[in-house]
Every structure is written in structure tokens, then in C-alpha cells.
Structure 1
Amino acid sequence: MSVNEGGAEPVEHLAYEVIRRLRPLHRTVVRALERELSGTGLTAGQHALLDALHHHGPRTVPELARALDLDRQPVQRRVNHAAGLGLVETVPNPAHRRSPLIRLTPEGSEVIRSVQRFEAAGLRRGLAGLPAADVATALRVLDRLGEEFRALARDTPPDPHSPRATPAPLPAPAPHTGRHGA
């Protein structure tokens, strides 16, 4: 292992260590989440869908696919499954007649809030004593790594002037029409 002047590890080595930990961490998070969801009929993927709708509001399937960094077809399957469980519904999209908005039903909102309350309690217990500033630093590092790897995936250089990588914001939700869709 090489070190920089002053004995510090080079940033690229530390970044590799972060990346090496992400895959097993992701698998562990998914396993814990699936255990938490057992008996609900939901998978970790459907949880991600409900969470995106809860966080960002009604979206089209293509917008959800971009937010989840997935192809449209698997997102459509998740939407169909969640609709079958009565957790989401489609409503007309005033901005695009052929691409309806997907929104949480009251039952879907309650399910995701309940799961998130449980998760928050576990995180409070598990991360007690970890300074919020450390978590904020971790977020900045992960955002920057995400920017760098999205640029590599696009084969375009990242913006060197970007102080922090953030995914493109989702568009604002369309105005609520008050109509319930199929």
C-alpha cells in the first residue's frame, strides 16, 4: 500500500475500500429488509418503489425508472404488483395523456410509513453515538462516487466544478386532479 506525504493513504485507495464494502452492505441491507417485509407480500424492490413515491410524490413509470436507476420494464412489473396489492394506483397525467402518474394509495402510504418507522427505530439504536456529521460526510462521498461512476457509465468526464454529485432532480409532480385512476 502506498501512502501520500505525511503518511496518509491515497484517496483512491480509500475510495476502493468504500466501493469494496458497498456490494456486501447492499446485500445485507436487502436481506434485512426482506426479513422485515416477510408476510407483507412486498419485496425489497417494491419497498424501493413505494419509498420513491413517498419521497418524491406521483411519478410516471419512466420517471420512477430513472429515479431507481432501472429499466422501465422491471419498474412496470413492480408497479403492477403494488397495484394488485392496492398500494398504488394510476391517475391521469395532465402533462402526458399516454403516460399516467403512479401514486400511493392511502394503504400504500400507511405501509411505507410503518416500514420507515420500524427502520428509523432500528437505525437510531444501531447508530447511537455516531455523529451526524460523519453520516453527512459519508453521504457526500457516496454522492461523489455516484457522480464519477455515472460519468464512467456514460463515458463522459464528470463536471470538475461540481462540489457534490447529485442525481438530476425529479420533475415536480403534476397537479392533483382529484380523480382516482384504475
Structure 2
Amino acid sequence: MSVIEGDAGEHAGGGSAGEPTATEDLLYDVIRRLWPLHRTVVRAVERELADTGMTAGEHALLDALHTEGPRTVPQLARTMGLDRQPVQRWVNHAAELGLVVTAPNPAHRRSSLIRLTTEGTAAIRGIQRFESTELRQRLADLPAEDVRTALHVLDRLGEEFRHLANGSRVQREETDSQGSRDSRGSEGSNGSNGNPEGHDSRPTAPLMHKGRSGA
């Protein structure tokens, strides 16, 4: 199945039937770059973490907990777009390192909350300080507006591919005879995490501090 589907004449400036538009070509270029970029980022992060005992997945876990606060493993899996199994492995290893602990969950007795320890909070804060410095030095030439545009495009791609992963389609809005707009099609369930591999995809920040507590 084609990653991006469209009918001739539906896009402004579109070519003949079956030919992608210029925008579709650009979207393909973005999508083609995502997986190699992701793997490159993971390799760079894990190289920086070589002496800490942490993995790139555990960095992503700490970042999610620092951003969102205490969460259950299922909640973390949804936030990170992963199955529960890899997230549970990261939680277990982070707990062994003293970076997270489990806590009672008032909303669900059988599903404990995962929260950062003092050491875990210090680790992620140190990592973020280091990363902020590196980003300023390496990407200072990128205007903020370009970064905001990139975020918008990535968010939109994520939204549409979640629908595809869930087996649903969101069709274009159609205008009826009275001029009102009717959005047809189901938006699908958000219960699926949309990770086709189901294991060891590791969302992570671009760079990593070598020490857990940061300097």
C-alpha cells in the first residue's frame, strides 16, 4: 500500500492520475529520513551512555516521567508510542539503577505508578542541561520558526499514521447542499500504540550526558 494516497485533481497543482504531487514527494522525503535519523540518534545516545549503565530507552523513560509526572506502565507505553513489554523492561532496569520506584496508585490498586527518585530527577535534569548546551552550539543557525514548522509537520504525520496503524481512515470533509461540512469516517481508537514492531523502538533526545547526575 502506498504510504500517502490521493486522487488526481484533489491537490492544487497536482499532476496526471497516479502521479504524486510536489507536496507528496516532499512528504515521502520526510518519511524516508525518519527511520535512519532515529537509528542514528539512538546510536549516538547509547555511545554517550556507555559508562552509565543506562540505555537510550531508559533516557526516554526518565524524560517522559520528568515531563508528565508519575505514570503507570500502560500510560507510559501510550505516551511513548510503544508496547508495554519494552517499557516494563526499561522500568525494571531503571529501578535496579535507583532511578525510579513504584508507588501506590489511588486510581487503580493493581496498576502501580512509576515515579522518579531523587537520583533519577537529578539524572534527567543533568542530561537536559547538557543537551540544551549541545543543541545551542550545533543548531544555532536554525530559526525558531523553522523548528516550529518541523514540529507541526511531525505532529501531523504522527496523527495520520496512528490512524493508519489503527486501521481507520479520516476522510476529507465534504460540503453538503446546505454548505455545512460533514467530516466522514472514523477517527479510530487511541488504545493502540501504533508501533508495528512492538519492541525496542527507542524514542530519545538527540544527545546524552555521560554522567547520571549531570554536571
Alignment TM-score, normalising by the size of structure 1 = 0.82
Larger relative contact order (CA 8 Å, sep ≥ 6): 2
Alignment TM-score, normalising by the size of structure 2 = 0.69
Deviations 1:57-89 (A, max 9, x none): 000011011111111122111111100110000
Residues 1:21 and 1:109: Cα distance change in structure 2 (over 3 Å): same
SS in structure 1 of the partner of residue 105 of structure 2: coil
Residues 1:16 and 1:98: Cα distance change in structure 2 (over 3 Å): same
Question: Which structure has the greater CA radius of gyration?
Answer: 2
Gaps of 5+ in 1: 163-167, 169-182
Question: Is the helix fraction higher in 1 or 2?
Answer: 1
- 1:157, CA displacement in angstroms? 1.6
Determine whether 1:71 maps to 2:83.
yes
Gaps of 5+ in 2: 1-11, 15-20, 174-182, 184-189, 191-215
- Distance in 2 of aligned mates of 1:5 and 1:144: 22
Instruction: Provide runs of 4+ in structure 1 moved above 2 Å.
Output: 158-162
Residues 1:111 and 1:18: Cα distance change in structure 2 (over 3 Å): same
Deviations 1:89-144 (A, max 9, x none): 00100001110100000000011111111111111111112100000000000111
- Distance in 2 of aligned mates of 1:53 and 1:146: 21
Question: How many residue pairs are counted as aligned between the two chains?
Answer: 159
Q: In the TM superposition, what are the counterparts of 1:168-179 in structure 2 within 5 Å?
A: none
Out of 12, 32, 39, the position equivalent to 1:20 is: 32
Aligned-pair identity in percent equals: 68
- Distance in 2 of aligned mates of 1:159 and 1:61: 33
